[in-house]
Amino acid sequence: MVAVSTAEAERRIYSAPALEKGLDILEILCRSESPLSQKEIAKKLGRSVGEIYRMVNCLVDRNYVSQVDESSYTITTKMFELSHINPPTHRLLFEAMPVMERLAKELDQSCHLTVYSQGKQLVLAKVDAPSGMGFSVRTGSELDVLISASGRVLLAFQSAETTGLWIEESVQRRPEQSDPQIGAILNTIRKIGYESIPSVQVRGLYAVSFPILDTQGRALAALTVPYAERIDQHQRKSIPEVTAALGSAARVVSEKVGGSVRRTLSV
C-alpha cells in the first residue's frame, strides 16, 4: 500500500471536483486562440463531453464563456474585468499608465509593466512608441523570467524565501533556462537597483528594467523599456539616458502606490 502524506490526504478530503473542472475549462479556453467545441474541450481535458456539458452551460450562464455558434465556445472578457476590480492591481495600473505614457513620449520607445505569476511574467500594461516604430509586447503576453531583464528584477527584489520559490517555479517551466550563476546575477541587480542586458531572444534589442517597490522594498512589478535602436535617427536617446529616465519613472510609480524608493548607483 502506498503511503499518502498528510497534506495530500487533506487535499483529497477538501477537493472540489466540480470547481476544478470549471477552472480547467476556463484555462483551456484562455489558452486557445480560437473557439473550441465541447468535444475539443473534453479531449484536451481527457474527459467525456458528458462530464463537461453542464459545467460549460453554467459558465455560459455566468458570462465567463460565450457560445459563438451552434457548437463552439470562447472565453469572454469577464475575468479580465474582474481582475481590474482588484484594488492592488487597479491602483498600480491607475498610477503607472500616465507615467508610462510620458516615458514613452520622452524616449520614443515602448515600455511595459509585468508581474510574476507561477514561473512566468504577465504583461499588465504597455505603451507603444509614439512614432509607431519600435519593439513592443502585447498586453496579456506571458514572458520568461530567468533570462529576461524584467524577470530578474522581479526575482531580485523579494524575500530570500520567495526568490528561491520563484526560481524553482521558473526552472520547472523552462528547465533549459536554469543558470548556476543566477544567485550572483540577482545580487548584482540588488546592488545597482536595476537590470540592463542585451536581449537573448531578439537580435539587436536591449532591455532595461526597474522594480516598482512596495513598502517592504519588494517588487510588485517591473517597468521595462525594450530599447530598439533606430539607424535613421542620430539624436536617439542613448541607453544611459534611457536608464536614467526609466529609473526616475519607476521611482515615481513606487511613490504613487505607497512603496519605498530605492536610489540606484550611477548609470
Q: Tell the CATH topology of 84-256.
A: Beta-Lactamase (3.30.450)
Asked if domains 15-80 and 84-256 share a fold, the reply is: no
User: Across all residues in the chain, what is the average pLDDT?
Assistant: 86
| Residue % of the chain over a pLDDT of 70 | 86
- Per-residue model confidence (pLDDT) at position 159: 94
Beta bridge partners of 196: 208
User: With bands split at pLDDT 50, 70 and 90, how would you rate the model's confidence at 235?
Assistant: low
Per-residue pLDDT tens over the stretch 224-234: 999 877 665 56
Extents of the domains making up the chain: 15-80, 84-256
How many CA atoms, within 13 angstroms, populate the side-chain half-sphere of residue 129? Answer: 18
133-137, 157-161, 247-251: least confidently modelled range: 133-137
pLDDT at 135 over 90: no
- Per-residue model confidence (pLDDT) at position 79: 83
Which residue, 231, 233, 229, 261, is CA-closest to 248? 261
**Average of per-residue pLDDT across 107-112:** 91
The larger pLDDT score, comparing residue 76 to residue 236, is at 76
23-27, 154-158, 238-242: least confidently modelled range: 238-242
pLDDT at 83 over 60: yes
- Per-residue model confidence (pLDDT) at position 239: 86
- Per-residue model confidence (pLDDT) at position 22: 92
pLDDT at 7 over 60: no
Per-residue pLDDT tens over the stretch 17-59: 889 999 999 999 998 989 999 999 999 999 999 999 999 999 9
What is the CATH architecture of 15-80? Orthogonal Bundle (1.10)
17-31, 123-137, 147-161, 182-196: least confidently modelled range: 123-137
- Per-residue model confidence (pLDDT) at position 2: 47
pLDDT at 260 over 90: no
